[in-house]
Structure 1
Amino acid sequence: MADEGNILTDLGNGATDGNGSDTQPTIGLISQYVKDLSVENPNAPKSYQWGDQPQLDVQFNIQSNQIDGEVHEVALKVTCTAKAPQGTAYIVEATYCGLIGIRNVPEAQSHAFLFAEAPRILFPFLRRVVADAVRDAGYAPLLLDPIDFAGLYQQQMEQRRRENTQPPAGDA
């Protein structure tokens, strides 16, 4: 459904509240883009001669920032560091973002969408950016393993519930 430059997907049949206001729950991907990309190849060309398989450390972070009342920027950030006994082979840091439009969706559902579903949608594109960056640095493309964002989200929400229901330390 198009509305003053915001492109949102109508999940219903365009119902209104009788006053002409759109009341249907709506969520849509407006745009996606590389926000930041950094590739460090600190020991090239020597690192291309190293015979040891580098150890890979991959760190993920998900952030959501409200741009205005109906638009959120979801940022999926990854840092990939490959280290061998001789030193660091490469470091790739990438932030891939999506602008998500949300209208008439309860807070709990929109939070779940922003931190579980939106990262799932964005991940394949971030994965390609990272693979290309590592390949362009002179190494075999790094194909990140799929991530169960919904499962991770549920684990974090459960952990927060447990932390909030435990009695303060010192109470018997």
Structure 2
Amino acid sequence: MAEESNGAAPEAASVPQAPRLQIVTQFIRDMSFENIAVQKGIPAEGKPDIKVQVNLDAKKRPEDRYEVAIKINATSSVADNPVFILELEYAGLFHVENVPDEQLHPFLMIECPRQLFPYLRRIIADITHDGGYPPLNLEPIDFLALYRNNIARQAEAAKKAQEAQPAGTA
């Protein structure tokens, strides 16, 4: 019996641990809702044109913790008249374990926002509804595609910056 457990111990030690993600807390870091149509007394009649921009940010915190934020900027207008502007920065503090360094950045920028999104979506729907408009129910965001587009945009910017340098200056 002792021989079997001694033989099994090295195998167990070599098995990689599964990544572990725990949401420690989540919170609204910053929020602004400007109800332009109501302030100016302009009726917001007609089909609104709504534009949504999404940005992500991640910061290292002590003890294997990371703060990940989703920044949403939503604007609504009817016939080129602004109706409202909503800016929301929603963040979560995550405890992350067993994620290799080369996979940490994509993990933080894809999986963590995916965990936060349902709460962010509800907050935006509540804010717009409480502002006197139908709830703005955001479509699900493909954070993997957003990450890939961001990486491609950064690579293109780096390539252009390198091409813009005069020859012999590196």
TM-score by length of 2: 0.75
Whether 2:113 is the aligned partner of 1:119: answer yes
Deviations 1:120-143 (Å, cap 9, x if unpaired)? Answer: 111111111001000000000001
Deviations 1:131-169 (Å, cap 9, x if unpaired)? Answer: 100000000000111111012223433555576689x43
Q: Map of 1:1-172 to 2, 5 A cutoff?
A: 24=17, 25-44=19-38, 46-47=41-42, 49-85=43-79, 87-158=81-152, 160=154, 168-169=162-163
**Aligned to 1:44, what secondary structure does the other structure show?**
helix
Q: CA deviation at 1:104?
A: 3.9
Q: Is the 8 A contact 2:66 2:94 kept in 1?
A: yes
**Aligned to 1:112, what secondary structure does the other structure show?**
helix
Gaps of at least 5 residues in structure 1 are 1-14, 18-22
CA RMSD of superposed structures (Å):
2.7
Q: CA deviation at 1:85?
A: 2.6
Q: Aligned residue for 1:4?
A: none
Q: CA deviation at 1:68?
A: 1.7
**Aligned to 2:123, what secondary structure does the other structure show?**
helix
After superposing the two structures, state which structure 1 stretch, 142-151 or 77-86, moved more.
77-86
Deviations 1:87-119 (Å, cap 9, x if unpaired)? Answer: 211111111111011234212222111100111
TM-score by length of 1: 0.74
Q: Is the 8 A contact 2:32 2:88 kept in 1?
A: yes
Q: CA deviation at 1:69?
A: 4.4
User: Residue type of the partner of 1:153?
Assistant: Y
Are residues 87 and 26 of structure 1, via their aligned partners in 2, closer, same or farther at CA, if it must alter by over 3 Å? same
Q: Distance in 2 between matches of 1:159 and 1:81?
A: 24
Are residues 53 and 110 of structure 1, via their aligned partners in 2, closer, same or farther at CA, if it must alter by over 3 Å? same
Q: Which has the higher helix share?
A: 2
Q: Distance in 2 between matches of 1:70 and 1:50?
A: 47
Gaps of at least 5 residues in structure 2 are 1-11
Number of equivalent positions? 151
Q: Is the 8 A contact 1:31 1:98 kept in 2?
A: yes
